[in-house]
Amino acid sequence: MRKIHVRVAMVYIVIAIIFLIVRSFIVPPSFGEYGWYRGDSVSEIMNLSVKHAGSYSCSNCHQTEYKAWTTGKHSTVNCESCHGPLKYHVDDPGGSKVEVNATREFCGLCHNENPSRPEGFPQINLESHGNGFTCVTCHNPHYPWFD
């Protein structure tokens, strides 16, 4: 074996060893636990915070609205579809305020006439219907009526 070959080989071997040592420090311990990924990341994602609490969590405090809602035509529409994510409010009912968008445009998101919507879905012409009053003047959003 010539000197030069041995020296070159030594340099490469040293590089390879350094690589393996650094690798053993850097690769996260849970990598490969379940597959070719960092196992801990699954539980990290599972533990992300929930922001939509679900309609049932409203029932305790807002009994009147809840009862009306469950029997009305909007019963398929969950509380948070209109009121937005409310987990923060369920966690701290006293200390947080809930905003609600009661504009005509907001109701129009679902009910303004639009030919792409399914036939039979209740729609009105936002421009001609209701003389510009907000919808909630006549319709109770928790228990709506219409023909």
Residues lying near other proteins in the complex (CB under 8 A) are found at: 1-4, 6-13, 15-17, 19-20, 22-23, 26-28, 31-52, 54, 74, 76-78, 80-81, 84-85, 108-110, 112-118, 121
CB of 49 to other proteins, least distance (A): 7
Q: What amino acid is encoded at 136 in this protein?
A: V
Closer of 32 and 93 to other proteins (Cβ): 32
CA dihedral for 24, 29, 35, 38, sign (positive or negative): negative
Distance CA 110, CA 146 (A): 14
Task: Give the nearer residue to other proteins in terms of CB position, either 51 or 67.
Answer: 51
For other proteins, the closer CB: 62 or 83: 83
Please say whether the beta carbons of 124 and 109 come within 8 A.
no
**Shortest distance in whole angstroms from residue 146 CB to other proteins:** 15
CB-nearer residue toward other proteins: 20 or 131: 20
Work out how close the CB of 33 gets to other proteins at its nearest, in angstroms, rounded to a whole number.
6
**DSSP assignment string, 50-62:** P----GGGGTTT-
Half-sphere CA count of 4, side-chain side, radius 13 A: 0
- State in angstroms the smallest separation of the CB of 135 from other proteins: 14
> Is the Cβ of residue 10 or residue 138 nearer to other proteins in the bound state?
10
CB of 68 to other proteins, least distance (A): 16
Residue 136: φ, ψ to 5°? -70, -10
Q: Calculate the dihedral angle through the C-alpha atoms of 48, 52, 54, 59, rounding to the nearest 10 degrees.
A: 120
